[in-house]
C-alpha cells in the first residue's frame, strides 16, 4: 500500500476500469475472439486481414472507454444537434453525394468518404429518447405522431439513396424507442395489421427481380446459378458441419470457394461449418449473455433518456445478430446485414463498441437513490 508507484498504477487502473462493465465487456471480447478465429479461416489464413480487424478492435475499445465515461445526460444534450446534423448530412448526400457503385450514400470529406446513414443509426434513437425524456409524464398521442415524423424523415432519405436495408434497420431502431416509451399495444397491432394488408399491394408493385428474390428465398433450387446460390451453399455449409463441426480451417465449403461473402455477411456459415452445432450453441449463449446483461442495465437505468437509449441499443444488437443468423441459416431472405462483432469490417465494429460504451455509461451513472 505504501508503494507510490504501486499506488499510481492502482489509481490509473481504477480510472481505466471503473466505468467498464466486466460482464458486458467479457461477453463482447469472447465474441470478437470467435470472430477473429473464424476470420482467419474465412480469409484463407490471411494474417493481414486478421491484423487489420484486430487494429479496428483496439480502436473500438478506446472509443468504448471514451463513451463509457460520458454521463448519459451529457449525451442527451447532444441529441438534438446530432440529429439535425445527421439529417442535414443526409440531405447533403442527396444533393452532392458521391456515387459509389450506383448508390448515392457517401459524402466526400476530402480526406475520407463518410456515410451519414451510419451516424443516423446513433442519432435517431438518441433524438427520440431525448424527446420522450423532455415530455416525460405527459406523453400523448401527439408526441408519438411527432416521433413518427422524426423517424420517417431519415428513413425516407436513406431509402431513396437507395439503401432499403439500412432504411428498414433505422426505422426499426426508432420503432424500438416508441415501443419502450409506451406506444399503445392497439397502435402496434394496428401497424402490424396495416403491414399485413399492404403486403399484397406491395407485392404487385415490386420489380420482377425483387419478386424473383423472394420466390428464390422460398425455393432456393429455383435459381442455382443466381440468387439462390448463396442461400443454398450456406445451408450446405451449416448442415454438413454436424454436431461437432469439421474442425478449424477444415471447412470444405469455405476452402473450396463455395461460400460467397464469407468474411463479411456469411461468416457465420464458416463458423457453423467448422464448429458445428456445439459451436453455434456457444455463440448463441454468448450473445444471450451480452443481450441479457444489457437488458439488466436498461431496466436499472435512472432516467427516461438512459432507459430508452440503452433499450434501443440492446434491441438493435439483438436485431442484427438475429437477422444475420436467420439469413445464413435460410430463415430470412438474403439481406446485407453483418453479424455483430464477428463479420469483417471496421466501421460496424466501432459503432457496436460505441453502443456498448453508452450502455456501460448508463450503468455506471445510475443514481443509487432508493436505498
Q: How far is residue 352's CA from residue 350's CA, in Å, rounded to a whole number?
A: 5
Q: How far is the CB of 260 from other proteins (least distance, A)?
A: 10
CB-count burial class (<10 Å; 0-12, 13-18, 19+) for 331:
exposed
Are 113 and 98 within 8 A, CB to CB? yes
By CB under 8 A, name the one of 181, 286, 348, 360 that touches other proteins.
Answer: 181
The residues in 184-223 that bind other proteins, with binding defined as CB under 8 A, are 184-187, 207-209, 212-213, 223
The residues in 258-297 that bind other proteins, with binding defined as CB under 8 A, are 258, 263, 272, 276-277, 280-281, 284, 287-288, 291-292, 295-296
What does DSSP assign to residue 106? E
By CB under 8 A, name the one of 2, 4, 101, 111 that touches other proteins.
Answer: 101
Q: How far is the CB of 10 from other proteins (least distance, A)?
A: 29
**Which is nearer to other proteins, 1 or 48 (by Cβ)?**
48
Sign of CA dihedral 302, 26, 78, 62: positive
The residues in 34-93 that bind other proteins, with binding defined as CB under 8 A, are 43-44, 46, 48-49
Exposure string over 252-263, b if 16+ CB within 10 A, otherwise e? ebbbeebbebbb
**Which is nearer to other proteins, 26 or 292 (by Cβ)?**
292
By CB under 8 A, name the one of 230, 293, 307, 363 that touches other proteins.
Answer: 307
Stretch that binds other proteins, among 67-75, 118-126, 151-159, 183-191 (CB under 8 A): 183-191
Instruction: Give the residue from 242, 116, 226, 245 showing the smallest Cα distance to 170.
Output: 116
Strands 113-114 and 98-100: unpaired
The residues in 3-22 that bind other proteins, with binding defined as CB under 8 A, are none
Strand ordering across the sheet containing 98-100:
98-100, 103-108, 113-114
Coil, helix or strand for 262? Answer: coil
Q: Say how many residues touch other proteins, by CB under 8 A.
A: 84
Instruction: Give the residue from 55, 65, 87, 79 showing the smallest Cα distance to 16.
Output: 65
By CB under 8 A, name the one of 102, 110, 199, 200 that touches other proteins.
Answer: 102
**Which is nearer to other proteins, 118 or 264 (by Cβ)?**
264
Q: How far is the CB of 91 from other proteins (least distance, A)?
A: 20
Q: How far is the CB of 2 from other proteins (least distance, A)?
A: 38
Q: How far is the CB of 236 from other proteins (least distance, A)?
A: 5
- 133 forms part of the interface with other proteins (CB under 8 A): no
130 contacts: CB under 8 Å, gap ≥ 6: 76, 79, 80, 305
- 300 forms part of the interface with other proteins (CB under 8 A): yes
Coil, helix or strand for 99? Answer: strand
**Which is nearer to other proteins, 95 or 225 (by Cβ)?**
225
Strands 103-108 and 113-114: antiparallel
Are 234 and 259 within 8 A, CB to CB? yes
Q: How far is the CB of 211 from other proteins (least distance, A)?
A: 10
The residues in 312-351 that bind other proteins, with binding defined as CB under 8 A, are 315, 318, 322, 325-326, 329-331
Q: How far is the CB of 287 from other proteins (least distance, A)?
A: 7
Are 258 and 236 within 8 A, CB to CB? yes
What does DSSP assign to residue 141? H
The residues in 138-177 that bind other proteins, with binding defined as CB under 8 A, are 138-141, 144
Are 216 and 231 within 8 A, CB to CB? yes
Q: How far is the CB of 263 from other proteins (least distance, A)?
A: 8
Q: What angle do CA 310, 27, 59 make, to 5 degrees?
A: 80
**Which is nearer to other proteins, 2 or 140 (by Cβ)?**
140
**Which is nearer to other proteins, 6 or 226 (by Cβ)?**
226
- 252 forms part of the interface with other proteins (CB under 8 A): yes
- 108 forms part of the interface with other proteins (CB under 8 A): no
Residues in the chain: 371
Amino acid at each position: 500500500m505504501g508503494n507510490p508507484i504501486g499506488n499510481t498504477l492502482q489509481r490509473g487502473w481504477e480510472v481505466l476500469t471503473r466505468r467498464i462493465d466486466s460482464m458486458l465487456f467479457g461477453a463482447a471480447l469472447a465474441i470478437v475472439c470467435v470472430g477473429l478465429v473464424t476470420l482467419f479461416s474465412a480469409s484463407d489464413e490471411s494474417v493481414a486481414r486478421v491484423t487489420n480487424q484486430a487494429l479496428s478492435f483496439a480502436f473500438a475499445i478506446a472509443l468504448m472507454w471514451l463513451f463509457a465515461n460520458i454521463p448519459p445526460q451529457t449525451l442527451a444534450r447532444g441529441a438534438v444537434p446530432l440529429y439535425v446534423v445527421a439529417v442535414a448530412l443526409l440531405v447533403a448526400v442527396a444533393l452532392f453525394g458521391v456515387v459509389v457503385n450506383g448508390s448515392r450514400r457517401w459524402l466526400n470529406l476530402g480526406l475520407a468518404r463518410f456515410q451519414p446513414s451510419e451516424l443516423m443509426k446513433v442519432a435517431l434513437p438518441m433524438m427520440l429518447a431525448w424527446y420522450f425524456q423532455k415530455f416525460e409524464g405527459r406523453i400523448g398521442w401527439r408526441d408519438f405522431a411527432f416521433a413518427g415524423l422524426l423517424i420517417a424523415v431519415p428513413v425516407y432519405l436513406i431509402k431513396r439513396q437507395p439503401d432499403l436495408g439500412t432504411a428498414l434497420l433505422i426505422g426499426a431502431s426508432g420503432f424500438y424507442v416508441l415501443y419502450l416509451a409506451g406506444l399503445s399495444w392497439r397502435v402496434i397491432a394496428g401497424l402490424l395489421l396495416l403491414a399485413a394488408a399492404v403486403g399484397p399491394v406491395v407485392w404487385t408493385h415490386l420489380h420482377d427481380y425483387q419478386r424473383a428474390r423472394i420466390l428464390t428465398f422460398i425455393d432456393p433450387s429455383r435459381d442455382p446459378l443466381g440468387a439462390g446460390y448463396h442461400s443454398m451453399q450456406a445451408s450446405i455449409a451449416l448442415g454438413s458441419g454436424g454436431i461437432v463441426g469439421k474442425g478449424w480451417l477444415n471447412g470444405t465449403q469455405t476452402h473450396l470457394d463455395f461460400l460467397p461473402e464469407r468474411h463479411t455477411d456469411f461468416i457465420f456459415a464458416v463458423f457453423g461449418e467448422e464448429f458445428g452445432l456445439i459451436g453455434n450453441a456457444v455463440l448463441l449463449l454468448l450473445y444471450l449473455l451480452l443481450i441479457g446483461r444489457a437488458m439488466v442495465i436498461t431496466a436499472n437505468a435512472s432516467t427516461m433518456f438512459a432507459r430508452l437509449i440503452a433499450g434501443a441499443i440492446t434491441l438493435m444488437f439483438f436485431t442484427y445478430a438475429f437477422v444475420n443468423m436467420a439469413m445464413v441459416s435460410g430463415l430470412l431472405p438474403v439481406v446485407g446485414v453483418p453479424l455483430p462483432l464477428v463479420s469483417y469490417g471496421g466501421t460496424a465494429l466501432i459503432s457496436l463498441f460505441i453502443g456498448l460504451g453508452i450502455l456501460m455509461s448508463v450503468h455506471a451513472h445510475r443514481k443509487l437513490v432508493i436505498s
